[in-house]
């Protein structure tokens, strides 16, 4: 039997031991064990997202190191944080080999095993985490000096708190990082904020609703298109701004919001361009125009289609070059949203679709969108070789029996039963996906005996809505789920060993926000 004193001493020792373990686990998010150049190169080969902090004196870089450690806790599983003390005798050679001369520190990012760039964001935990989640992304708007006069709301709580306390007229631009229109509008919006600052009494604000924590705001205002600009007065929403996205129009509206804004100019129809060398076809004249042309290329397009807009200047350029160099043939275009009967006749299902005709008879589809390739084709129009036979789907491969392939209906029910699930969102044509498939499959096979773990694959060419729900914009994209209640982007290595190591010690669900 233990005496009370002996029991008390053992309890104290246990508490001290737990405290020591907790302290060690707290700093384990930062790699500090690299001293040899070979180990350093191995790390870069196996980890594709590494941020390294080199210091000449830990005391002089204490503030930066503190931020670095805190950020490391926030990006577990999405990247690797490496700390190298160049004043340490063991690591001096490594710093010299890397030609690193920190004064007192240097922050460098490595992507896919190669030096990417010096860290150029703010030295804050939030900025560092944002950077590591998307190292190749644009500078966050809130860190751009040009947008210093725009009030940025980080989350719904700060937004609602501001509405309760500040009754000044306020415009809020709800945006997402991938939106091209948002990117083009930001400079004008920032300039409007700066000009209105001189008038006083007006607020130009912005919120990135791509962030998971801002999903309730996105739902509240039914935000489906971006940017969406909403005007508030006395802490309450009045209406959505529908005027021009220019600095002058924004300033004029804020100074007099009751004045009806100038509507956005309507984009002129392509067929109205009298200087164009493109022949614009209609249903009525389609066959009559083409029947006498030995060689004609027809671009079926939709006015709202972004890919069509990108191809339009190339198509125009090709037509002009053909005229100047006497290349035989005609380049024509048809608005398939207006002339739907022709589009249906020739089975046009996407835009732009380019088809080759000879004397009014359809011959074959052509996949050319650049001016030089269009002209080369018209010099010597030949039918492209038939596509190779379709590859066997991943789901049908014999060694993929342990990878789960749900559909949009079964996805939720399957993941709700799994404590740890790693989902690979992929496209069959993606080269990186093809390279990763056997590694992902090997990891699934290796952990098949653990009923808590699931390796899941979603074909985004089949299940578009499911991939859109989780904001998948590149392939492959990996997301970790726990009972479908929590999720975390996975940006670690893509070898089977990396997947296995991650799933054997996955992040704690408590560290991450709910879906």
263 part of a folded domain? no
pLDDT, greater one: 20 or 84: 84
- Reference 124, options 174, 183, 74, 186; nearest CA is 74
The rounded mean pLDDT for the chain is 86
pLDDT, greater one: 345 or 182: 345
Predicted pLDDT of residue 16: 53
DSSP 8-state assignment for residue 398: G
Return the minimum-mean-pLDDT range out of 59-63, 139-143, 501-505: 139-143
Predicted pLDDT of residue 261: 59
Looking at the predicted structure, is the pLDDT value of residue 7 above 50?
Answer: no
Residues 192 and 160 occupy one common structural domain: yes
Residues 215 and 319 occupy one common structural domain: no
Q: How confident is the model at residue 4 (pLDDT cuts 50, 70, 90)?
A: low
Predicted pLDDT of residue 265: 62
510 part of a folded domain? no
CA 331 and chain centroid, separation: 36
Residues 455 and 485 occupy one common structural domain: yes
Looking at the predicted structure, is the pLDDT value of residue 125 above 90?
Answer: no
Contact 189, 243 (CB under 8 A): no
Q: Which of 136, 153, 176 is the endpoint of a domain?
A: 136
10 part of a folded domain? no
Active-site residue list: 305, 308, 430, 433
Residues 191 and 249 occupy one common structural domain: yes
The pLDDT of 59-83, averaged and rounded, is 87
340 part of a folded domain? yes
Per-residue pLDDT reduced to its tens digit, 477-507: 999 999 998 889 998 899 999 999 999 988 7
Per-residue pLDDT reduced to its tens digit, 345-384: 999 988 899 999 999 999 999 999 999 999 999 999 998 8
Looking at the predicted structure, is the pLDDT value of residue 514 above 50?
Answer: no
The pLDDT of 308-333, averaged and rounded, is 92
Looking at the predicted structure, is the pLDDT value of residue 13 above 70?
Answer: no
Predicted pLDDT of residue 510: 52
- Strand 486-490 relative to strand 477-482, pairing: antiparallel
Residues 247 and 183 occupy one common structural domain: yes
Looking at the predicted structure, is the pLDDT value of residue 50 above 80?
Answer: yes
Q: For 326-396, list the strands marked E by DSSP.
A: 330-335, 353-358, 361-365
491 part of a folded domain? yes
Q: In the chain, how many domains are there?
A: 4
Looking at the predicted structure, is the pLDDT value of residue 139 above 80?
Answer: no
Q: How confident is the model at residue 5 (pLDDT cuts 50, 70, 90)?
A: low
- Reference 182, options 222, 129, 236, 140; nearest CA is 140
161 part of a folded domain? yes
Predicted pLDDT of residue 184: 84
Looking at the predicted structure, is the pLDDT value of residue 105 above 90?
Answer: yes
Range of the domain at 172: 142-255
206 part of a folded domain? yes
Per-residue pLDDT reduced to its tens digit, 220-258: 888 877 789 999 999 999 989 988 889 999 999 999 998
Q: How confident is the model at residue 515 (pLDDT cuts 50, 70, 90)?
A: very low
359 part of a folded domain? yes
Looking at the predicted structure, is the pLDDT value of residue 405 above 70?
Answer: yes
Strands in 420-426's sheet, in edge-to-edge order, are: 453-459, 420-426, 477-482, 486-490
Predicted pLDDT of residue 471: 86
Residues 101 and 184 occupy one common structural domain: no
Q: Which of 330, 351, 379 is the endpoint of a domain?
A: 379
Residues 147 and 124 occupy one common structural domain: no
Contact 303, 335 (CB under 8 A): yes
Residues 187 and 98 occupy one common structural domain: no
Residues 151 and 250 occupy one common structural domain: yes
Residues 116 and 130 occupy one common structural domain: yes
The values of phi and psi at residue 41, to 5°, are -65, -35
Query: CA of 10: how far to CAs of 3, 15, 20, 24, 323, in Å?
Result: 11, 9, 15, 21, 93
Per-residue pLDDT reduced to its tens digit, 263-287: 656 667 888 777 789 999 999 889 9
Residues 152 and 128 occupy one common structural domain: no
Residues 405 and 478 occupy one common structural domain: yes
Q: Domain containing 249 — which CATH number? A: 3.40.30.10
Q: Which of 192, 223, 255 is the endpoint of a domain?
A: 255
């Amino acid at each position: 039997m233990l005496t009370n004193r002996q029991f008390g001493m053992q309890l104290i020792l246990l508490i001290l031991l737990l405290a020591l373990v907790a302290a060690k686990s707290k700093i384990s998010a930062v790699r500090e064990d690299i001293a040899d150049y070979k180990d350093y190169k191995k790390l870069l080969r196996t980890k594709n997202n590494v941020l390294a902090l080199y210091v000449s004196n830990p005391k002089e870089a204490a503030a930066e190191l503190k931020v670095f450690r805190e950020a490391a806790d926030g990006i577990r599983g999405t990247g690797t944080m490496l700390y190298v003390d160049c004043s340490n005798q063991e690591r001096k050679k490594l710093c010299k080999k890397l030609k690193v001369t920190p004064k007192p520190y240097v922050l460098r990012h490595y992507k896919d095993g190669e030096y990417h760039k010096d860290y150029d964001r703010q030295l804050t935990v939030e900025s560092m985490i944002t950077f590591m989640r998307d190292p190749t992304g644009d500078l966050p708007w809130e860190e751009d000096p040009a947008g210093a006069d725009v009030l940025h709301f980080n989350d719904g709580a700060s937004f609602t708190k501001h509405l309760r306390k500040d009754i000044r007229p306020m415009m809020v631009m709800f945006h997402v990082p991938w939106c091209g229109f948002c990117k083009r509008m930001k400079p004008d919006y920032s300039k409007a904020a700066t000009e209105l600052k001189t008038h006083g009494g007006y607020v130009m604000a912005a919120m990135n609703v791509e962030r998971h924590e801002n999903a309730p705001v996105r739902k509240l205002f039914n935000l489906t298109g971006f940017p969406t600009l909403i005007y508030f007065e006395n802490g309450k929403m009045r209406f959505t701004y529908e005027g021009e996205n220019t600095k002058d129009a924004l300033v004029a509206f804020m100074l007099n919001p009751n004045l009806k804004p100038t509507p956005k100019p309507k984009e002129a129809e392509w067929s109205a361009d009298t200087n164009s060398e493109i022949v614009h076809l209609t249903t009525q004249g389609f066959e009559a125009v083409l029947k006498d042309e030995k060689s004609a290329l027809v671009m079926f397009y939709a006015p709202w289609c972004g890919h069509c807009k990108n191809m339009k200047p190339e198509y125009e350029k090709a037509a002009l070059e053909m005229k100047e160099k006497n290349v035989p043939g005609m380049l024509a275009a048809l608005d398939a949203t207006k002339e739907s009967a022709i589009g249906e006749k020739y089975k046009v299902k996407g835009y732009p679709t380019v088809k080759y005709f000879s004397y009014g008879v359809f011959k074959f589809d052509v996949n050319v969108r650049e001016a030089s390739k269009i002209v080369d084709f018209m010099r010597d129009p030949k039918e492209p070789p038939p596509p190779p036979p379709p590859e066997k789907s991943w789901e049908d491969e014999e060694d993929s029996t342990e990878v789960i392939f749900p559909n949009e209906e079964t996805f939720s029910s399957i993941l709700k039963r799994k404590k740890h699930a790693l989902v690979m969102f992929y496209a069959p044509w993606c080269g990186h996906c093809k390279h990763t498939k056997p590694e992902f499959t090997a990891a699934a096979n290796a952990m098949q005996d653990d009923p808590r773990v699931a390796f899941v694959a979603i074909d985004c060419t089949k299940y578009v809505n499911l991939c859109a729900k989780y904001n998948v914009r590149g392939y492959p994209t990996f997301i970790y789920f726990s009972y479908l209640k929590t999720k975390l982007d996975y940006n670690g290595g893509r070898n089977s060993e990396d997947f296995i190591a991650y799933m054997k010690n996955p992040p704690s669900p408590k560290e991450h926000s709910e879906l």
